[in-house]
Structure 1
């Protein structure tokens, strides 16, 4: 693209979409008209103009779980690799191991084996991936990966004696520790549910990560509140499903025709807002 397009200065604007080929030339556009108080998105051949910013269609990125991109956006301007698969893989593997323990696979019920994973892979590696998502301009990916990197670090701290978290509840004869962890899971359920709402216009695989993760956190909260082993195992099952969804998206972000015979085609969720708009017409 020419340098004048690369150096354009963005401006704040609200957007409506218009196809330049079908636009009426008899009625001039008036930005102050009460029915058109906004800037337009105009499509012209290979170009799409967002207000005063012009992009090639090929340079716009659609919603895709492999890059943790929840909607249409300009492609990254920095020459950096896609950090999404690293964060997704770190999240998936750590979640998978803990979820197997929640299911009591092979009779294992003590989760301390996950502490190392939670610190270094699910925690540190995912946090680094989140920072690089911010560097490439992906706010959603940066917030999601960095937050869950923090989650795994904070979870590992609970089982690290030097933090004294479990020890602080040692003298309590009630169930404060379980209730406290339950509240902790409720908070993460709320955060995950908000992220899930932001993927409703993305792809089936992308949405499924946060949908199943929301259920997992909710079931873990219930487990800590009522001590039900059955609910804990259900949380483990949904955690395993979440892990495979994350791995699937990570694979989609890495696999291409140059390195694999098996690539992933994104299946987009239906755009109900767009459907309603056509019905009104």
Structure 2
């Protein structure tokens, strides 16, 4: 009884509440169940999982990157022409679709791909909206000196050059197909940044060629996800070169996937 009194509920004055019975501390039923008992009764919550949206993000990025890079490099069209035909593609395909793919990957728990797809989707969306006359960007550029507009575009390209370098650093332990994708993406933006800032046509064209191969690499990486032994004759090679350490493999539950 002394132990029961010691652990009996008390109010703010140190007294037991009115009607409390030491012999029956739970007058309204059984005592509260322990967490383990709850786990045995209630099934674990089921969370809905999304499909792998990386294929959507890669293919939309690859398609529009190839299109824009061909124009930037002067393939089939003269160098320096506007990208008016890319406006709808930039907004809908590389913009909205890639933005949604990034958000889905974040919901799937993939922070890296979520950040990459979402940021590039927003960039493509901004690039497409800039070509819409009602937005005011075109009117602003027409009223400013070409040299000032060129340097402003160079500053924008510089910040994206830093971002893609971070993405490349985050893929050094990945497979060769991913490294080629982010490597050519870095070369594209670095050359395009220098060419835009300095007004150097050859550097800008070189950036277009690197972008062309970057877009093809993105499309190949999308095909790697979509084509496998379940719906194709074989798995497409990606060039796994990195062998995880025992600690990394153990942290991944024995299924480390670079």
The TM tier, using the shorter chain, reads: 0.7 to 0.9
Q: What is the aligned counterpart of 1:251 among 223, 236, 248?
A: 223
Match of 2:171 in 1: 199
Q: What is the aligned counterpart of 1:105 among 75, 82, 96?
A: 75
Q: 1:211 to 1:78 in 2, by over 3 A?
A: farther
Q: Distance in 2 between matches of 1:167 and 1:148?
A: 25
Question: With structure 1 as the length reference, what TM-score do the two structures score?
Answer: 0.67
Deviation at residue 163 of structure 1 after TM alignment: 1.6
Deviation at residue 110 of structure 1 after TM alignment: 2.2
Q: 1:132 to 1:174 in 2, by over 3 A?
A: closer
Judge conservation of contact 1:92–1:247 (CA < 8 Å) in 2.
yes
Q: Does 1:117 align with 2:78?
A: no
For residues 233-255 of structure 1, the C-alpha deviation after alignment (integer angstroms, 9 at most, x for no partner) is: 11111001100110111000010
For residues 98-133 of structure 1, the C-alpha deviation after alignment (integer angstroms, 9 at most, x for no partner) is: 000011111243211111111000000001111110
Q: What is the aligned counterpart of 1:80 among 50, 71, 80?
A: 50
Where structure 2 has 5 or more consecutive residues not aligned to the other structure, the ranges are: 1-38, 247-258
Q: Distance in 2 between matches of 1:266 and 1:216?
A: 22
Q: Distance in 2 between matches of 1:174 and 1:251?
A: 41
Question: With structure 2 as the length reference, what TM-score do the two structures score?
Answer: 0.73
Q: Does 1:165 align with 2:137?
A: yes
Deviation at residue 165 of structure 1 after TM alignment: 1.6
For residues 212-247 of structure 1, the C-alpha deviation after alignment (integer angstroms, 9 at most, x for no partner) is: 111111111111112222112111110011001101
Q: 1:259 to 1:164 in 2, by over 3 A?
A: same
Match of 1:18 in 2: none
More helix by share: 2
Judge conservation of contact 1:203–1:267 (CA < 8 Å) in 2.
yes
Q: What is the aligned counterpart of 2:62 among 60, 80, 92?
A: 92
Q: Distance in 1 between matches of 2:101 and 2:144?
A: 39
SS of match in other structure, 1:238: helix
Deviation at residue 209 of structure 1 after TM alignment: 1.4
User: Which of 1 and 2 has greater Rg?
Assistant: 2
Q: 1:263 to 1:181 in 2, by over 3 A?
A: same
Deviation at residue 170 of structure 1 after TM alignment: 2.4
Q: Distance in 2 between matches of 1:260 and 1:213?
A: 29
Where structure 1 has 5 or more consecutive residues not aligned to the other structure, the ranges are: 8-76, 276-281
Q: 1:97 to 1:80 in 2, by over 3 A?
A: same
